[in-house]
Amino acid sequence: MDTTLHDPLVGQVLDGRYRVDARIAVGGMATVYRAVDTRLDRVLALKVMHPGLAADATFVERFIREAKSVARLAHPNVVGVFDQGAQDQYVYLAMEYVAGCTLRDVLRERGALQPRAALDILEPVLAALGAAHRAGFVHRDMKPENVLIGDDGRVKVADFGLVRAVDSVTSSTGSVLGTVSYLAPEQIEHGTADTRADVYACGVVLYEMLTGAKPHGGDTPAQILYAHLHEGMPAPSAAVPGLAFELDDLVASATARNPDVRPYDAVALLAETLTARAALDDDQLDALPPGAHAVAAGAGADDRTSVIPRAAATPVTQVTPAGVPLPAESAGPDPVHRTSRLIMPQRVEEEPERRPVPRAARGRFDNRRGVVALVTAFLLILGVGAGVWYINSGQFTRVPALIGRSEDAAKKKLSGAGLDLKKVDRQFSDTVERGQVISTDPATGARIRGNGSVTLVVSRGPETAQVPKLDGMPLDRARSELQKAGFAPGDTTSEFSDGVAQGAVIRTEPAAGVKRHTDTAVALVVSKGAPVDMPNVVGDPVADATAALQGAGLKVTVAPDQVNSEQEAGKVAAQSAAEHARLTKGDTVTLTVSKGPRMVPVPTVTGQKADDAQKALEAAGFKVKVDRSFPFLSDEVSGQSVAGGSQAPEGSTITITTKGL
């Protein structure tokens, strides 16, 4: 497929110097072209920012930062940046053109590599990063896609597009830049990255070269991020039996979840790598992974990368983010390989204190082999940074003294030592106070890998104990005393009590002094205080009713809506608690205020029988009084006290009179 069709830049000359010959690939931020520097007559890669992003100061600043950072390095294992400029809407970088393949291509074709080949690639990568670290930069996006293997066998590190100064603030709120499979735990959890984040990513890359697979898999980026944050790095020998123990240690050292126990930068990890190589014999270095075919090793250290075969030559359709061509089959990488902005949940809880690991605990290269490794590492970065000041072995630590400490204190000390908590077992003990550590597995002082885990055995206290006397004690303190005695606070019920203050314990169930197994639940009966007898305040003015209730120790609220009632307007029409109800001091009573009786029409009942007239008036909401002055003469209503057709207060009394002679 011709990728140069319909591209307006192909055939143009940028800044009167760079002739664009062909489009190589299109990325999320830029398009990469093969170009010729007409002044110096050399082929180079031209990385041109998409015109739509050129107006975004953030992207332009990142472009320029990449150019300046890499230009300062000038290291043989770093893809060089020659120039940076802009013409009209085009912002570009002129970069070294590397014909070859990426480490990702090699892993796709070969799977797991021999240890010698893996170390031949890792060492120049660490030399490049060591130069960056000592120059004050952090790469932040190390992965196989950014490790290039040229036609001449040289290994180069590409794409410093996410580079940051070591001492700059790299934390973010809610997001982090990177590639999920290679992010260090601190990048995921805090959005921060220093030189140790690059060390962690190199450890993941080494694991991938030795095994042919990533250490943590998952269907979604979130699953992979969770694994890096909460799971230890597996040993490569678990996936490829027969790998040397030193290789497991090298991966474990670089990928310790606690950054304080990793090698502090790529120079330190390079020294460890050289020491590990020196400890391996030829059989261990050339061990074939399952299903692999033998490949002849190079003759010497300068030719080590030649043992890695380049991918088959195919039309170039893709490039690395640094603008270096990739073979066609590398197009369309899995999403977890891509550099991306990952949205991270904000944390609101307080982070535990992180204690730096003393240098003395990190180990030193005190034998002749270690000295050789230090010198070699220095030579590999000569001219671009300071020498190696100290080396963090980071492979092993010793289980700290935890016996007699509280469970929380023991967990913090484990974390500070870079160790994980495997589980907590609880046992009865007559000699160790409840909640304190009885023992650990492995035991105190035992050697353990830097990312290993420890089991704590915590005391449950004596197997049986007496229920303590808690009568009259405030509830919170009573619960605390129960826990100190080894019991669990059980159900809490309340009772009225004239003798025990409100909120204090009346008794326990089982009773005080009874022996029970520790961890047994003990129920608490708490006093509601002396009962308050609810008075009747219906018909009282609201102010008088409120004063009376508050005087009895009750709280008063007034309902926002008034109601019609037979009570006069402004007086209490109803109360939420019935008269003589038993209440607790502090309980709230709601009063409803009357807005007076409702006026209703009075029916005309004159001429009706007295019984019929009474029913009609009562149905209308009135009370009825019948005046029978001459009961034996007639039962017909001759008059009513409120004339029919007029209105009267609902519930008021209407008198009807029967006829006389």
Judged by DSSP in three states, 506 sits in strand
The whole-angstrom separation of Cα 116 and Cα 297 is 8
Instruction: Given the residues 141, 159, 249, 587, select the one marked as catalytic.
Output: 141
Q: Token pair for residue 288?
A: 């074939």
Q: Are the C-beta atoms of 396 and 447 separated by less than 8 Å? A: yes
- What does each C-alpha distance from 368 to 276, 278, 282, 362, 397 come to in angstroms? 13, 11, 20, 18, 22
- Sign of the CA dihedral with 81 first, then 139, 113, and 299 last: positive
Q: Is 141 part of the annotated catalytic residue set?
A: yes
Task: Please give the DSSP secondary-structure letter assigned to residue 510.
Answer: S
Q: Are strands 81-87 and 137-138 parallel, antiparallel or unpaired?
A: unpaired
Q: Token pair for residue 181?
A: 């499979």
Find how far residue 456's CA is from the centre of its chain: 25
31 pairs with which residues across the strands?
26, 48
Q: Token pair for residue 440?
A: 């650990």
What is the secondary structure of 616-657 as a DSSP string?
HHHHTT-EEEEE-SSTTT--BEEEESS-TTSEEETT-EEEEE
What is the CA angle 270-274-276, rounded to 5?
A: 115
Q: Please, which residues have CB within 8 angstroms of residue 599's CB and are 6 or more apart in sequence?
A: 647, 648, 649, 650
Which phi and psi angles does 625 have, rounded to 5°?
Answer: -120, 130
- What does each C-alpha distance from 656 to 98, 124, 436, 627, 643 come to in angstroms? 116, 116, 89, 6, 10
Q: Are the C-beta atoms of 102 and 145 separated by less than 8 Å? A: yes
Q: Please, which residues have CB within 8 angstroms of residue 482's CB and are 6 or more apart in sequence?
A: 468, 470, 488, 489, 522
> Which of 186, 167, 280 minimizes the C-alpha distance to 225?
186
- What does each C-alpha distance from 27 to 6, 49, 238, 340, 585 come to in angstroms? 17, 9, 37, 12, 73
The whole-angstrom separation of Cα 269 and Cα 203 is 9
The whole-angstrom separation of Cα 294 and Cα 298 is 13
Q: What's the N-to-C CA distance of the chain in angstroms?
A: 125
The whole-angstrom separation of Cα 313 and Cα 372 is 39
Q: Could you list the active site residues?
A: 141
